[in-house]
């Protein structure tokens, strides 16, 4: 069952894509220098502080990072659904060549669920308990497409089948509480996919699920991504999930991207101390039972970001320079960029570690 | 009672690297470290209406307490020459049908309202809290009995039950006390029971059980303090209600008994003069409205402020 | 009665001139069907319309029943007994046997004939224990009443049916006011057949409450309205009104608003004393006021069983503490007369020359000191909380008593408790009012000071000799001798014994809508009256 | 569902019996002998015992209670002491007025309360919100009797727009319904608002927005139904609560309903009448609460049976 | 003792024998009277000094098992022994006394600390409850010492839980559990709610403490990489029953029960090179514990199931140094 061959194929495919970076036109999503801040009573929280993300067509792009790093806020910024004291204060979000920042509420409504859709972590609470799941999914169609009720139902049932919901016809009339967690998440995915969006944002879609169900859902997402033209933005804090299905990975820390690279590149040639820390913290199967590596300290409070590199207080390699000014994203070649002074020298070059 | 089982540790026993975060990282100021009192204070600073209400309540309570010093008149002294005198310098709110200074009576009436607002409510809430705690914590038969009792009480319209009780006890302030206390415990008991039930499932309670902490300690030390926000909110609900209920009972003639007075009774007594001497009936009505409204505004503010605590 | 000096000069016409256009401009807002119906108020709602079961609610009884004789108003506070169901009567020499000759053409509302059988039944029903009647006093003097009351027999031996239209009544002892008492509203004559058939519903269900009166009982909507309508088969002259409606309203302001809005024809200030001054002071309504003296008296009483009320000096001090005119002014808009005896103006035996009891707090204090209470003492006034109009009176009285150094507590009781305690003779002190059921001094003095009654009313009058004289006085038949004896008793009881505190008599003020013509207060100044006389009519 | 209903009813029964018992005991320990209450001072002392015996007042209180309940179940609540009438007949006569008032008041409360709650939730922390909330707090804080008085004075007496008292057509109910309804309107508005705000925080609202639904559809289509579940329950309970509130309103506006009967009965120590009317009102309230529960169960698919 | 397997000759510290736990669900329209079969006929030994991990999907009864062993829950049937004594036979006082020796650490660092108590009060509670020290001073000293031990600055004694981060709260919970110097600690998913970096800190701490104090852990988790790191033995549960028990490395190397195999397979590996295009999934969902399938509880999802699996309940058999409950597994 284990097919290293298959893994190799996937790797090839990703390598190909990485080579193709020049194809700017094919970019489904281009976020440039996005800044989303929360204006709270205690001060301004720069939850997303100059993030640039690019997602080519038909790719699964992962964002990882510890809790509170701004992953979800980035995602919600794309849909412009950042909640109350939060506001996009700068940057641009181009979806398929269309600028989203500054769009009117009405225009955004036409994009949500239509061109960009989203699934959340908790499939139970993300579905309205008082309506049947069928109704909730068909709503996503009827709001964007001129279709009749009957036709919408038809499409929903098909979508249900496509996401592997057994007895799709019957499930159409089920209420969320009558479904199991895995089925609910499938319904959410059906809802996200039913308008064939250009981009699907999945914010920790499997965190609340058991491993066996998680595997099913990840597989399903991969398959959907391959079959349709939808790009996926997968938010997670699980390196395993990243390794499992992502093509390209962004590592975020305290509102900034720390490292970005194609998945194989990232795991094979991990550069940023933070990323290294994250990977090393995971207990390795091979390891003898010694102490685990861990990043000391914790994510800083965004209200009081340290001077210089925001990771410097926790960084083993921190240099005096790190406490002085913020590093930029340095390009290390192979589509690999790192925000760390250690790689300043690599700027423009294609050197390995 | 030194226990030899306990290993005495010293610094050498500390594991080498615990990944102890640098002290600066734990920044208490920036974490959510507001206590309940802080939140209420902040709310009062922000919410002008609530702050004003608070001031009004304090002033009215003071006025009630110091009534004899605030007026040269006695509340029950009639003076036929001053019958229905209109407001003037000597009589700020004029005099009633028997020439008694209306303002003075209003002040003394405040005492009744303040007392009714505070005492029976507190007594009822203490009873309700204890019963609710027991019902929620022990469950089973105790719960069944207490809750059915609460059902019974809640099935009566509260005003009606208060009427019946205060009627049985032949009217008067004391019977209103008892009547209101008899009625109001039930809601508190329900809320506290529900809260206790949810607290009981909380892991910190289970932790206490696993430590072998006694049941009574768990109830009163772990669960009760966590019901505090609910209790405060209930208090802000119950006080104005009690004041209104007393006013209604007095208005119906089974509350405060003449010659002592209360706002409700004053409205009732001055009602006949509404047309020619409207201020007489309006003043106590306004007093009730302002007092109750102030409690409600303050209560709303407090509820908003305590909102995060209420969801546990 | 003679209006007191302080009464406002506003004249009190007995009736507004019929020809005059409406001066006040009160609208007449008349609901359909009420165009020719006199709309009044009663409060509280009557317990029952069975005349035998009530001592206070007579509005409907008056109109739907006839009595053997009727007391009719001949002038303010003046009354005359006229034959009614009895065409005439004869009194034996010894004043013990009364023969009533009954009218022959009379029909009950249900069409039954009125006969002697009905009269006997009425008397007997009053006495049967199972009836639970409250007016047994009226038939009490008849021979055999005790046996019937005790339940040993159903037959009242003192009443003999001579023939269908003649009936003889034998009394135990001579009783001067017997005929007058037969005209009291409680003595309405019932139809034996209908009343028996009605059973418990009698007096409650309108269609089962049958009399011979000029009006029949049309409907009783609980807590809302009582309605009587003209009885076409009435034996005497038909009333001009098509009916009378009493709204049941407890609220003075509501009553007033309704009157001013034209929804009432008669606004009875007795039910809304608080509004009296407004109306009497308002020139707009000058022509709408009709008033009559109430043949009754307001009083304060105390329980002589409770110390120190057993001391005549204390009692006198209390009598002197009363600012009667002040009370009249404060509580009754000045429309009333201070009283110093038992019998108010309008009742037989009224003594206009009684010496005044002065309002003298200083003298009162001196008396108290003399009795050993220089610093006063504590006393309680019991108050029937259902009577809201009495409350200011109680408070004012308390205040007056505090002026002479007493400490007064007001004990509010619900009316049931109040009455029950009073019946046990245990009320400490209270204020109340009494007005004439029938025109005789006995109706006052016997009620209060006769041996049993004085306990029942919590007076506990404690002068057996005087009490015995009061009982004996009943048997005096000669009117002149009677009057003399009663006036002497009055002086003995009030001025010497100081056994109670008379306060004042009120003037009963009605406001009448412009459309109602010819309205006259009843002879005794009650709200409930015999509203059946010439000239009472509605002009829309 | 049927099982649930039956169970709910079975629970309601003991409550009702307990309510009756408490009421019975409370009212029977009241000082004052019913016979004297009935007869006042007119009874001959020697007859009191006869009456007591005949009325069964010498039996132990539980026997009396048992007899009362058995009769009550047959619809016989005894005779009013004061009015000498069949209590059940009196209640039957009065009840329609009260229920009419309660329903009108409930309508007022809903028509005002729900939109006010929605609006102030949607416009949270704006002037509109504050205005609506202050208005509803006023309603909750206003003494009913006082408000009734002032409104009667103003709209009926001064302006003459509406009748002062009575119950003869819906017009007569306008003022009392507003007075009574305002109070519940306040409660409903506040509950609607807080529920709606609570519901709006839910993930599924985020989902609905992410679907591209307009704000109106999100609020009305997705949030409202969830937010209204407890409000509906509350509303059903309030119809019952309004019956209690009617006590005051009826007295002021001269509506011959249950409330007035109760107050009168209390003033005259008319035990059977008081007991009957309070019991009846309580029974209605218990039924109301039951209906509220069932309504909730019916509306919430999580509870509703498949 | 139904289990003869002895682990390095260590003593059995706690043991469950044929334990059953059923929860009654009551009074809901939908449910009527329903019974959740949370744990069915489970026997398990915990040896002194070991870390026994318990894994399985959500709702399979792991936490229930943990609470049964601590007797925070009464078993519906079966016996739980601690140091050989049947806990059911102990009186309330004795049990309270015994609680000194067994403690629990919870998953949710927010819910497991009383928000209205200071850190000092929380940590001192077990000490005060059992009156370990005569004086307040000694207790305070001990509290500070414990705080140091788990890596919380002793200056923070007067702070409230909400003034700490998740990881720090978890440490406070651990300090409380350690206060009485227990023998057994049940760790109910102690790191599931934490970020990987914090998770590593806590795992290290637990590891160090075990070494130092000779603790025994019953470690409940669904994160297999964590389990593999920390445990000596693993117990795999499925729907209230044990599928397989055995030494950690052996089970990871060669899982015997089909469910264990699928479980291990499903774990996403943090290495993209191990990515598989075609994975062997477990299809379908967990059956309901209210109506567990007859026979082997796993048979509805098991691709290898044969007729017998749906009829006959497999017993836990000793096979090659472990215990497996599957008809199909043979030595
Ligand atoms: N409504 C808000 N008000 C203030 N700050 C907020 C708000 N929402 C988010 N933030 C801040 O924004 C930062 C980023 O939050 P975000 O939810 O994007 O984190 P995340 O990376 O998704 O974390 P997680 O893994 O826990 O979901 C956090 O530090 C948080 O404090
Ligand atoms: N107090 C309870 N009342 C009713 N059912 C319960 C109770 N506690 C647990 N259960 C049920 O028992 C079963 C086992 O629960 P348990 O908490 O032991 O599972 P778990 O393996 O710990 O799951 P998780 O990984 O989600 O913590 C579940 O179906 C659960 O719903
Ligand atoms: Mg997030
Ligand atoms: Mg668990």
pLDDT tens readout for residues E269-324: 888 888 776 667 777 777 888 888 888 999 988 888 889 998 999 999 888 888 99
Ligand 1: nearest atom to the Cα of A84: 1
With an 8 Å Cβ cutoff, are D137 and B297 in contact?
A: yes
- Residue B29: pLDDT over 90: no
Q: Given CB atoms, is C6 within the 8 Å cutoff of chain B? A: no
Q: How many CB atoms lie within 10 A of CB D50?
A: 15
- Residue C178: pLDDT over 80: yes
Q: Percentage of residues in chain A with pLDDT exceeding 70?
A: 89
With an 8 Å Cβ cutoff, are E270 and A282 in contact?
A: yes
- Residue B10: pLDDT over 60: no
Nearest CA to ligand 1 atom 14: A70
Q: Percentage of residues in chain A with pLDDT exceeding 90?
A: 33
Q: Distance (Å, rounded) from C-alpha C262 to C-alpha C241?
A: 18
- Residue A24: pLDDT over 80: no
Ligand with smallest separation from the Cα of E69? 2
Position A5 in a domain: no
Position A167 in a domain: yes
- Residue C260: pLDDT over 70: yes
Kindly provide the ipTM of the predicted complex, given to two decimals: 0.80
Position A45 in a domain: no
Q: Distance (Å, rounded) from C-alpha A251 to C-alpha B15?
A: 31
The per-residue pLDDT for E24 is 82
pLDDT digits (tens, 9 = 90+) for A107-165: 988 999 889 999 988 877 889 988 899 999 999 899 898 888 899 999 999 989 888 88
Which residues is A202 bridged to in the sheet? A119, A234
Q: Distance (Å, rounded) from C-alpha B137 to C-alpha B129?
A: 12
Sign of the CA dihedral running C185, C191, C194, C198: positive
- Residue C82: pLDDT over 60: yes
Q: Distance (Å, rounded) from C-alpha E329 to C-alpha C65?
A: 107
Report yes or no: D183 and D142 within 8 Å, Cβ to Cβ: yes
Q: Is the CB of A72 under 6 A from ligand 1?
A: yes
Query: Which residues in chain A have Cβ-Cβ distances shorter than 8 Å to E276?
Result: 1-3, 6-7
Nearest chain B residue to E139, by CA: B2
Q: Distance (Å, rounded) from C-alpha A231 to C-alpha A201?
A: 8
Helical H segments across chain B, by residue range: 36-46, 48-65, 67-70, 102-138, 140-155, 158-168, 173-200, 203-210, 215-217, 224-251, 263-270, 278-310
Report yes or no: D98 and D250 within 8 Å, Cβ to Cβ: yes
Position A74 in a domain: no
pLDDT digits (tens, 9 = 90+) for D224-243: 888 888 888 777 777 767 77
Q: Could you give the angle at which helices D61-73 and D271-299 cross, rounded to 10 degrees?
A: 60
Nearest chain B residue to D241, by CA: B157
| Least confident range of C200-204, C523-527, D40-44, D299-303 | D40-44
Q: Name, in order, each residue with C-beta under 8 angstroms of E285's C-beta and a sequence gap of 6 or more.
A: A180, A181, A182, A183, A213
Q: Distance (Å, rounded) from C-alpha A42 to C-alpha E163?
A: 16
pLDDT digits (tens, 9 = 90+) for C334-367: 889 999 999 998 888 899 899 999 999 999 999 9
Q: Given CB atoms, is B28 within the 8 Å cutoff of chain A? A: no
With an 8 Å Cβ cutoff, are B225 and E156 in contact?
A: no
Average pLDDT taken over every residue of chain D: 82
* Three-class secondary structure of residue E197 per DSSP: helix
The per-residue pLDDT for C361 is 93
Report yes or no: C267 and C511 within 8 Å, Cβ to Cβ: yes
Q: CA dist A238 to A251, E137, E200, E225, Å? A: 11, 45, 14, 12
Q: Distance (Å, rounded) from C-alpha A339 to C-alpha A346?
A: 11
Closest C-alpha among B296, B253, B254 to residue B271: B253
Q: Percentage of residues in chain E with pLDDT exceeding 90?
A: 35
The per-residue pLDDT for C320 is 93
| Least confident range of A54-58, A347-351, C204-208 | A347-351
Ligand 2: list residues with CB < 6 Å.
Answer: E 23, 25, 36, 38, 56, 58-64, 222, 289
For residues D160-173, average pLDDT? 80
Q: Distance (Å, rounded) from C-alpha C273 to C-alpha B63?
A: 34
Q: C129: burial class by Cβ within 10 Å (0-12, 13-18, 19+)?
A: middle
- Sheet with E216-220, side-by-side order of all strands: E102-105, E184-188, E216-220, E51-55, E233-238, E241-247, E322-324, E317-319
The per-residue pLDDT for A350 is 42
Position A165 in a domain: yes
Count of alpha carbons within 13 Å of A189, Cβ hemisphere only? Answer: 31
Ligand 4: centre distance to CA E241 (Å) = 15
Q: Which of residues 69-128 of D touch C (CB under 8 A)?
A: 79, 82-85, 90, 93-94
Q: How confident is the model at residue E26 (pLDDT cuts 50, 70, 90)?
A: low
| C-alpha distance from E242 to closest chain B C-alpha (Å) | 25
The per-residue pLDDT for D240 is 66
User: What Rg do the C-alpha atoms of chain C give, in angstroms?
Assistant: 23
The residue among A127, A128, A138, A191 with the most chain D CBs within 10 A of its CB, best to mutate, is A128
- Residue C379: pLDDT over 90: yes
Q: Name, in order, each residue with C-beta under 8 angstroms of B216's C-beta and a sequence gap of 6 or more.
A: none
Query: What backbone torsions phi and psi does residue E15 show, to the nearest 5 degrees?
Result: -145, 140
Query: Which residues in chain B have Cβ-Cβ distances shorter than 8 Å to D18?
Result: 148-149, 152
Residue found by looking up tokens 């600055």 in the block: E153
In chain B the domains, ranked by start, together with CATH numbers, are 64-74+86-310 (1.10.3720.10)
The per-residue pLDDT for B19 is 44
Considering only the C-alpha atoms of chain E, give the largest distance between any 2 of them, rounded to a whole number of Å: 68
Ligand with smallest separation from the Cα of E65? 2
Q: Name, in order, each residue with C-beta under 8 angstroms of D281's C-beta and a sequence gap of 6 or more.
A: B157, B160, D243, D244, D258, D262
- A: neighbours with 3+ CB pairs under 8 Å? B, D, E
- Residue D13: pLDDT over 90: no
Burial code (b: 16+ CB inside 10 Å, e: under 16) for B170-199 equals bbbbebbbbbbbbbbbbbbbbbbbebbbeb
Considering only the C-alpha atoms of chain A, give the largest distance between any 2 of them, rounded to a whole number of Å: 67
Q: Distance (Å, rounded) from C-alpha A263 to C-alpha A7?
A: 12
Map out the domains of chain D as residue ranges.
2-79, 92-268
Q: Name, in order, each residue with C-beta under 8 angstroms of D126's C-beta and a sequence gap of 6 or more.
A: none
What is the dihedral angle through the alpha carbons of D96, D100, D106, D109, rounded to the nearest 10 degrees? -150
Report yes or no: C444 and C464 within 8 Å, Cβ to Cβ: no
Q: How many CB atoms lie within 10 A of CB D20?
A: 20
Report yes or no: E176 and E147 within 8 Å, Cβ to Cβ: no
Q: Distance (Å, rounded) from C-alpha C510 to C-alpha C531?
A: 14
From the list C278, C386, C396, which residue is nearest B275 (CB)?
A: C278
The residue among C277, C395, C408, C415 with the most chain B CBs within 10 A of its CB, best to mutate, is C395
Q: Is the CB of A187 under 6 A from ligand 1?
A: no
Nearest chain B residue to D240, by CA: B157
Query: What backbone torsions phi and psi does residue B14 show, to the nearest 5 degrees?
Result: -60, 135
Q: How many CB atoms lie within 10 A of CB C67?
A: 27
**Domain range spanning residue A154?**
116-196
Q: How confident is the model at residue B171 (pLDDT cuts 50, 70, 90)?
A: low
Q: Distance (Å, rounded) from C-alpha C410 to C-alpha C379?
A: 9
Retrieve residue E189's tokens.
């998913």
Q: Distance (Å, rounded) from C-alpha E163 to C-alpha C291?
A: 82
Q: How confident is the model at residue E187 (pLDDT cuts 50, 70, 90)?
A: very high
Sign of the CA dihedral running C306, C309, C311, C312: negative
Residue positions counted in chain A: 353
The per-residue pLDDT for C197 is 93
Position A159 in a domain: yes
pLDDT digits (tens, 9 = 90+) for A278-287: 988 888 766 5
Which residues is C219 bridged to in the sheet? C227
Question: Residue B90, Cα to own-chain centre: how many angstroms?
Answer: 36
Q: Distance (Å, rounded) from C-alpha C132 to C-alpha C136?
A: 9
- Residue E29: pLDDT over 70: no
Position A295 in a domain: no
Residue found by looking up tokens 């003020």 in the block: C509
Q: What is the helix, strand, coil percentage profile of chain C, to 5?
A: 30, 20, 45
pLDDT digits (tens, 9 = 90+) for B183-216: 889 889 988 998 898 888 888 998 998 888 888 9
Terminal CA-CA length for chain A: 34
Q: Distance (Å, rounded) from C-alpha E127 to C-alpha E114?
A: 16
Q: How many CB atoms lie within 10 A of CB A188?
A: 28
Position A151 in a domain: yes
Closest C-alpha among A147, A134, A138, A140 to residue A178: A134
Sign of the CA dihedral running C388, C392, C395, C400: negative
With an 8 Å Cβ cutoff, are B258 and C272 in contact?
A: no
- Residue C68: pLDDT over 60: yes
> Which protein residues have their CB within 5 A of the ion that is ligand 4?
E 63
For residues C3-23, average pLDDT? 39
- Residue D75: pLDDT over 70: yes
- Residue B58: pLDDT over 50: yes
**What's the pTM value of the predicted model, to 2 decimals?**
0.81
Q: How confident is the model at residue C11 (pLDDT cuts 50, 70, 90)?
A: very low
Retrieve residue E76's tokens.
């519906």
Q: How confident is the model at residue C10 (pLDDT cuts 50, 70, 90)?
A: very low
Q: How many domains does chain A have?
A: 1
* Domain D92-268: CATH class, spelled out: mainly alpha
For residues B210-230, average pLDDT? 89
Query: What backbone torsions phi and psi does residue A261 show, to the nearest 5 degrees?
Result: -170, 160
Q: Distance (Å, rounded) from C-alpha D17 to C-alpha D10?
A: 11
């Amino acid at each position: 069952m284990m097919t290293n061959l298959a893994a190799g194929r996937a790797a090839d495919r990703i390598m190909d894509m990485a080579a193709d970076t020049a194809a700017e036109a094919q970019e489904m999503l281009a976020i440039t220098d996005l800044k989303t801040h929360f204006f709270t009573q205690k001060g301004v929280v720069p939850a997303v502080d100059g993030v640039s993300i690019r997602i080519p067509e038909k790719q699964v792009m992962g964002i990882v990072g510890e809790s509170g790093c701004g992953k979800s806020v980035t995602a919600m910024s794309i849909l412009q659904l950042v909640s109350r004291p939060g506001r996009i204060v700068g940057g641009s979000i181009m979806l398929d060549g269309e600028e989203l920042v500054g769009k009117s509420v009405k225009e955004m409504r036409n994009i949500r669920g239509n061109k960009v859709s989203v699934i959340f972590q908790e499939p139970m609470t993300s579905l309205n308990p008082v309506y049947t799941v069928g109704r909730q999914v068909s709503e996503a169609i009827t709001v964007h497409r001129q279709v009749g009720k009957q036709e919408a139902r038809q499409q929903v049932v098909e979508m249900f089948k496509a996401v592997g919901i057994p007895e799709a016809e019957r499930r159409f009339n089920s209420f969320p509480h009558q479904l199991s967690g895995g089925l609910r998440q499938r319904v959410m995915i059906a809802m996200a996919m039913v308008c064939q969006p250009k981009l699907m944002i999945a914010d920790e879609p499997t965190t609340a699920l058991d491993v066996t169900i998680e595997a099913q859902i990840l597989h399903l997402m991969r398959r959907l991504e391959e079959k349709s033209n939808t790009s996926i933005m997968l938010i997670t804090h699980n390196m395993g999930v990243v390794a499992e299905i992502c093509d390209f990975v962004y590592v975020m820390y305290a509102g900034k991207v720390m490292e970005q690279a194609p998945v194989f590149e990232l795991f094979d040639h991990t550069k940023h101390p933070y990323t290294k820390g994250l990977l090393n913290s995971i207990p390795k199967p091979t390891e003898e039972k010694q102490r685990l590596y861990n990043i000391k300290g914790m994510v800083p409070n965004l209200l009081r970001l340290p001077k210089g590199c925001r990771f410097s207080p926790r960084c083993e390699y921190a240099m005096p320079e790190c406490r002085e000014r913020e590093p930029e994203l340095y390009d290390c070649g192979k589509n690999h960029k790192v925000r760390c002074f250690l790689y300043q020298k690599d700027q423009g070059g294609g050197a390995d570690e | 009672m030194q226990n030899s089982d306990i290993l005495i540790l010293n610094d050498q026993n500390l594991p080498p690297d615990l990944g102890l975060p640098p002290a600066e990282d734990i920044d208490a100021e920036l974490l959510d470290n507001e206590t309940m009192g802080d939140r209420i204070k902040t709310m009062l600073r922000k919410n002008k209406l609530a702050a004003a209400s608070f001031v009004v309540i304090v002033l009215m309570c003071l006025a009630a307490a110091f009534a004899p010093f605030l007026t040269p008149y006695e509340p029950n002294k009639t003076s036929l020459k001053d019958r229905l005198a209109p407001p003037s310098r000597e009589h700020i709110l004029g005099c009633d049908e028997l020439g008694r200074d209306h303002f003075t009576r209003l002040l003394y009436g405040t005492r009744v309202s303040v007392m009714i607002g505070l005492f029976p409510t507190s007594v009822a809430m203490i009873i309700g809290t204890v019963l609710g705690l027991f019902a929620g914590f022990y469950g089973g038969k105790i719960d069944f009995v207490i809750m059915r009792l609460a059902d019974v009480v809640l099935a009566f319209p509260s005003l009606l039950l208060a009427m019946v009780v205060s009627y049985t006890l032949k009217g008067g302030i004391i019977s209103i006390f008892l009547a209101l206390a008899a009625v109001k415990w039930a809601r508190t008991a329900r809320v506290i029971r529900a809260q206790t039930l949810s607290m009981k499932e909380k892991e910190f309670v289970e932790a206490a059980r696993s430590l072998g902490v006694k049941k009574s300690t768990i109830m009163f030390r772990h669960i009760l303090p966590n019901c505090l926000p609910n209790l405060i909110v209930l208090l802000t609900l119950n006080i104005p209600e009690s004041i209104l209920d007393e006013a209604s009972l007095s208005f119906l003639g089974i509350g405060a008994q003449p010659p002592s007075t209360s706002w409700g009774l004053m409205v009732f007594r001055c009602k006949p003069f509404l047309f020619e001497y409207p201020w007489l009936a309006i003043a106590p009505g306004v007093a009730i409205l302002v007092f109750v409204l102030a409690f409600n505004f303050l209560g709303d503010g407090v509820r908003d402020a305590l909102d995060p605590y209420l969801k546990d | 009665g003679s209006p007191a000096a302080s009464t406002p000069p506003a004249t009190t016409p007995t009736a507004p001139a019929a020809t005059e256009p409406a001066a006040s401009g009160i609208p007449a807002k008349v609901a359909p069907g009420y165009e020719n119906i006199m709309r009044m108020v009663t409060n509280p709602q009557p317990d029952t319309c069975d005349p035998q079961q009530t001592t206070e609610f007579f509005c409907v009884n008056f109109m739907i029943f006839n009595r053997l004789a009727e007391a009719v108003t001949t002038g303010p506070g003046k009354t005359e007994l006229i034959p009614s169901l009895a065409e005439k009567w004869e009194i034996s020499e010894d004043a013990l046997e009364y023969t009533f000759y009954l009218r022959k053409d009379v029909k009950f509302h249900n069409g039954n004939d009125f006969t002697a059988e009905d009269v006997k039944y009425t008397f007997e029903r009053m006495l049967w224990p199972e009836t639970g009647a409250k007016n047994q006093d009226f038939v009490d003097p008849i021979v055999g009443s005790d046996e019937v009351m005790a339940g040993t027999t159903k037959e009242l031996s003192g009443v003999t049916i001579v023939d269908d239209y003649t009936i003889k009544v034998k009394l135990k002892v001579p009783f001067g006011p017997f005929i007058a008492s037969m005209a009291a509203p409680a003595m309405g004559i019932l139809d034996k057949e209908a009343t028996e058939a009605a059973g418990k519903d009698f007096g409650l269900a309108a269609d089962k409450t049958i009399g011979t009166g000029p009006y029949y009982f049309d409907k009783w909507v609980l807590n809302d309205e009582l309605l009587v309508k003209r009885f076409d088969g009435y034996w005497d002259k038909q009333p001009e009104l098509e009916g009378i409606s009493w709204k049941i309203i407890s609220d003075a302001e509501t009553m007033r608003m309704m009157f001013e809005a034209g929804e009432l024809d008669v606004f009875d200030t007795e039910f809304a004393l608080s509004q009296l001054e407004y109306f009497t002071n308002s020139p707009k309504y000058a022509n709408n006021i009709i008033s009559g003296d109430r043949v009754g008296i307001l009083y304060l009483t105390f329980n002589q069983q409770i110390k120190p009320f057993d001391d005549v000096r204390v009692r006198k001090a209390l009598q002197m503490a009363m600012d009667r005119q002040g009370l009249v002014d404060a509580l009754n808009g000045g429309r009333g007369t201070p009283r110093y005896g038992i019998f108010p103006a309008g009742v037989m035996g009224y003594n206009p020359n009684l010496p005044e009891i002065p309002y003298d707090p200083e003298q009162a204090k001196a008396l108290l000191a003399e009795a050993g209470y220089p610093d006063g003492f504590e006393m309680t006034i019991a108050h029937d909380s259902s009577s809201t109009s009495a409350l200011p009176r109680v408070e004012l009285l308390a205040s007056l008593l505090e002026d002479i150094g007493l400490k007064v507590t007001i004990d509010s009781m619900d009316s049931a408790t109040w009455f029950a305690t009073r019946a046990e003779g245990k009320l400490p002190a209270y204020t109340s009012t009494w007005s004439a059921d029938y025109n005789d001094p006995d109706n006052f003095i016997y009620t209060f000071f006769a041996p049993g009654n004085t306990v029942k009313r919590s007076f506990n009058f404690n002068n057996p000799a005087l009490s015995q004289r009061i009982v004996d006085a009943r048997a005096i038949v000669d009117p002149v001798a009677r009057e003399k004896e009663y006036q002497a008793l009055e002086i003995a009881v009030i001025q010497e014994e100081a056994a109670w505190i008379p306060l004042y008599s009120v003037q009963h003020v009605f406001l009448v809508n412009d459309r109602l013509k010819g309205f006259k207060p009843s002879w005794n100044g009650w709200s409930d009256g015999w509203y059946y006389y010439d000239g009472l009519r509605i002009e829309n | 569902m049927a099982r649930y209903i039956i169970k709910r009813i079975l629970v309601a029964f003991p409550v009702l019996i307990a309510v009756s018992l408490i009421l019975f005991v409370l009212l029977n320990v009241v000082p004052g002998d019913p016979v004297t209450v009935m007869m006042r001072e007119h009874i001959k002392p020697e007859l009191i015992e006869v009456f007591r015996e005949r009325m069964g007042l010498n039996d132990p209180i539980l026997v009396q209670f048992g007899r009362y309940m058995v009769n009550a179940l047959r619809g016989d609540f005894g005779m009013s002491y004061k009015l000498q009438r069949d209590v059940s007949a009196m209640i039957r006569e009065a009840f329609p007025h009260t229920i009419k008032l309660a329903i009108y008041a409930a309508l007022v409360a809903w028509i005002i309360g729900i939109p006010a709650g929605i609006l102030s939730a949607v416009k949270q922390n704006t002037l509109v919100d504050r205005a609506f909330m202050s208005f509803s707090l006023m309603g909750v804080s206003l003494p009913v009797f006082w408000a009734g008085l002032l409104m009667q004075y103003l709209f009926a007496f001064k302006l003459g727009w509406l009748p002062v008292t009575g119950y003869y057509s819906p017009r007569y109910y306008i003022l009392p319904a507003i007075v009574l309804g305002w109070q519940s309107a306040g409660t409903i508005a506040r509950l609607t608002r807080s529920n709606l705000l609570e519901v709006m925080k839910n993930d599924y609202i985020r989902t609905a927005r992410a679907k591209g639904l307009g704000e109106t559809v999100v609020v009305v289509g997705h949030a409202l139904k969830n937010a209204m579940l407890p409000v509906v329950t509350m509303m059903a309970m309030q119809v019952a609560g309004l019956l209690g509130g009617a006590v005051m309103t009826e007295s002021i506006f001269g509506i011959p309903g249950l409330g007035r009967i109760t107050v009168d009965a209390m003033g005259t120590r008319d035990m059977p009448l008081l007991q009957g009317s309070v019991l009846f009102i309580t029974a209605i309230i218990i039924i109301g609460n039951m209906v509220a529960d069932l309504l909730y169960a019916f509306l919430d698919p999580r509870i509703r049976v498949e | 003792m139904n289990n003869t397997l002895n682990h390095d000759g260590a003593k059995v510290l706690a043991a469950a024998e044929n334990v059953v736990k059923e929860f009654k669900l009551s009074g809901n329209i939908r449910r009527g009277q329903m019974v959740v079969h949370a744990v069915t006929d489970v026997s398990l030994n915990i040896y002194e000094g070991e870390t026994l991990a318990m894994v399985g999907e959500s709702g399979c009864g792991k936490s229930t098992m943990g609470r049964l062993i601590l007797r925070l829950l009464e078993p519906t049937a079966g016996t739980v022994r601690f140091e050989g004594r049947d806990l059911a036979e102990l009186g309330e006082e004795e049990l309270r006394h015994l609680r000194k020796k067994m403690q629990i650490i919870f998953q949710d660092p927010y819910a497991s600390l009383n928000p209205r108590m200071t850190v000092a009060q929380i940590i001192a509670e077990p000490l005060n409850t059992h009156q370990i020290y005569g004086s307040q001073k000694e207790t305070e000293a001990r509290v500070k010492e414990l705080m140091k031990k788990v890596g919380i600055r002793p200056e923070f004694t007067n702070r409230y839980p909400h003034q700490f981060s998740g990881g720090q709260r978890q440490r406070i919970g651990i300090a409380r559990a350690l206060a009485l110097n227990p023998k057994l600690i049940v760790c109910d998913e102690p790191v599931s709610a934490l970020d990987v970096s914090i998770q590593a800190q806590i795992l290290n701490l637990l590891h160090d403490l075990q070494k130092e104090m000779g603790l025994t852990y019953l470690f409940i988790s669904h994160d297999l990489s964590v389990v593999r790191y920390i445990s000596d033995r693993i117990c795999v549960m499925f729907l209230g029953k044990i599928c397989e028990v055995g030494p950690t490395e052996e089970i990871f190397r060669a899982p015997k029960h089909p469910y264990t195999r699928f479980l291990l397979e499903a774990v996403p590996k943090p290495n993209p090179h191990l990515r598989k295009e075609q994975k062997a999934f477990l299809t379908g969902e967990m059956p309901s514990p209210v109506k567990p399938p007859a026979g082997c509880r796993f048979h509805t999802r098991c691709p290898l199931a044969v007729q017998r699996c749906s009829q006959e309940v497999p017993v836990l058999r000793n096979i090659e140094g472990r215990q497996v409950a599957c008809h199909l597994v043979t030595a």
